[in-house]
Amino acid sequence: MTDSATWDRVLRRQFWRAVGWAVLCLLVVPASALGIAWQGSRADYLLDHGTEVTGKVVAVGTPRDGDGTPTVTVAYTAGGVPEQAQINRDSDRDYEMGEPVSVFYDPDAPTHVRTADEQNVGDGWMAVFSIPLLFVLILVPLMLSVAVAWARRRRLARRTGWRPVRVQAHDPVDRPQVVRFTIGGRRLVARATALTRVPPAEGNRRAGAKVAGSGRRFVLVLPNGSRRGGPRAVALKATGPRRTQ
């Protein structure tokens, strides 16, 4: 297999790796949806099969500036034993002190309660199932954009071919890695993308470097750049006016 075919395979692997991460992230969506539905079904079960009693509002919690979860605390009797429970408010209903409310509780766990209007889904469980969805909203577009970027660089490499280079890399604090190399008699300064970096020079990991691309988009391959001694691809974006046409 020629070097060009080998590097093309490396870029193809990078593309499919990004696609794979996007797919894995998407699998979180049905899992989180099932978890949220499970919490809702537990609340509905109490409404249909729990023991109903008349309770009384003894406290109403309304966080300032929307920081926190509104609550209503109800007092009720379960099996002849006085109980009190703080219930998360997820409806628009307003409560007043001493107001009677219908309370539904689990006879086997009297503190597992809800009212007719409030499901009383716990903040912890909602966080467990909802927060991953927020990460999915961030990671899926990111991984898809990374996949598109690798596909573009792969096509660019096929068009321009590969040229040997010697690279220098500098790691500024809190900024993308700066990579310098000479191609076509021109000195270029580029930045590595956030997800790929040129490895340290120790252990001959930068030897045999090849670069492909034009304009502002480049891709660097290092035959021994990975930790296991295999090839590594680094996506680069040229900065400043010193770039090839």
* 214-225 confidence digits (pLDDT tens): 888 999 998 877
Tokens of 78: 């379960």
Residue 97 lies in a domain: no
Instruction: Give yes or no for residue 1 having a pLDDT over 90.
Output: no
Average pLDDT over residues 182-193: 85
b (16+ CB within 10 A) / e for 114-132: bbeebbbbeeeebeebeeb
Average pLDDT over residues 24-53: 85
Strand order across the 178-183 sheet: 163-164, 210-214, 217-222, 232-238, 186-192, 178-183, 167-170
Residue 92 lies in a domain: no
Higher pLDDT, 92 or 154: 154
Q: Which of 195, 202, 192 is nearest to 170 (CA)?
A: 192
Average pLDDT over residues 31-47: 81
Residue 236 lies in a domain: yes
How many folded domains does the chain comprise?
1
Residue 241 lies in a domain: yes
Tokens of 164: 């040997």
pLDDT at 147: 94
Mean pLDDT of the chain: 85
* 89-141 confidence digits (pLDDT tens): 888 888 999 999 999 999 888 888 989 888 887 766 767 778 888 889 899 99
Residue 155 lies in a domain: no
Residue 220 lies in a domain: yes
Q: Which domain holds residue 230?
A: 162-245
Residue 193 lies in a domain: yes
Tell how far CA 94 is from the center of its chain. Answer: 36
